[in-house]
Structure 1
Amino acid sequence: MSMDELLKDLQGQRTMEEDPSHISLSSLFHESFMRQHSNHNSFEAFLEKGNFQAETHEDINKINDELLNRHVVRETDFASWSAMLDTATKEYSNK
């Protein structure tokens, strides 16, 4: 690997670390996070319970905010989707 390739790779890594939208939903909302903050073992099960389908941050952004917030309040210990996302992002960053 050349130095230019290594530099590009490292820059890509930094971009992912700085921007939570580049982190996969399954990495952000991993099994232990979901078990700690909800009655679900996975983020997929959490979404399925709300009849939501999402694999990316863009998919999540397309979900009606009010519906997603109500689901979060019912199924987790968070008061809103933004609170859940913020906590997951902070925990991910601390790893």
Structure 2
Amino acid sequence: MSFDDLLKDLQGQNTVQEDPNHVALDVLFNESFMGEHSNCKTFEAFLEKGNFQVKTREDIHNIPDELFDRHVARETDFDNWKSMLDTATMKYAVKSDRMNES
């Protein structure tokens, strides 16, 4: 993924039509979600607060689980990254289902 692709991803400019199995991180962890579950307004700010250098989605996977889990536990109301990701995914799915029903 190029830097421009990552930037678009973080800004939510990559659409579901481009890849139906991929949801942009800032869509999944939108301001409403981050505001409800953390003191950070954006997912990007959350990453910066932990001094994580993330340029690609793979970079997130390369962060040692223990480090990322500690950051999540310290900065959010989740115990670990998996619970944060699962909750965001569930909320996104529910919202998407409601939008498709309209």
TM range (shorter): 0.7 to 0.9
For normalisation by structure 1, the TM-score amounts to: 0.76
Q: Report the Cα distance in structure 2 between the residues aligned to 1:55 and 1:89, rounded to whole angstroms.
A: 21
Give the secondary-structure state (helix, strand or coil) at the position aligned to 2:89.
Answer: helix
Structure 2 unmatched runs, 5+: 1-15, 96-102
Q: CA deviation at 1:59?
A: 1.9
Q: Report the Cα distance in structure 1 between the residues aligned to 2:28 and 2:56, rounded to whole angstroms.
A: 11
2:48 is the alignment partner of 1:48: yes
Q: Report the Cα distance in structure 1 between the residues aligned to 2:85 and 2:39, rounded to whole angstroms.
A: 17
Q: CA deviation at 1:54?
A: 2.2
Between Structure 1 and Structure 2, whose CA radius of gyration is higher?
1
2:90 is the alignment partner of 1:63: no
Q: Which has the higher helix share?
A: 1
Q: % of aligned pairs identical?
A: 61
1:24 and 1:56 in contact (8 A); partners too: no
Q: Which residue of 1 aligns with 2:82?
A: 82
Q: Report the Cα distance in structure 2 between the residues aligned to 1:56 and 1:30, rounded to whole angstroms.
A: 18
Q: Report the Cα distance in structure 2 between the residues aligned to 1:94 and 1:70, rounded to whole angstroms.
A: 28
RMSD: 1.5
Give the secondary-structure state (helix, strand or coil) at the position aligned to 1:94.
Answer: helix
Q: CA deviation at 1:56?
A: 4.1
> Deviations along 1:16-42, whole A, 9 cap, x unmatched?
2xx4xx111111100000000000100
> Which aligned pairs between 1:7-22 and structure 2 lie closer than 5 A?
13=17, 16=20, 19=21, 22=22
Q: Report the Cα distance in structure 2 between the residues aligned to 1:49 and 1:80, rounded to whole angstroms.
A: 16
| Matched letter for residue 76 of structure 1 | T
Structure 1 unmatched runs, 5+: 1-11
- Higher relative contact order, structure no. (Cα contacts within 8 Å, ≥ 6 residues apart): 1
Q: Which residue of 2 aligns with 1:94?
A: 94
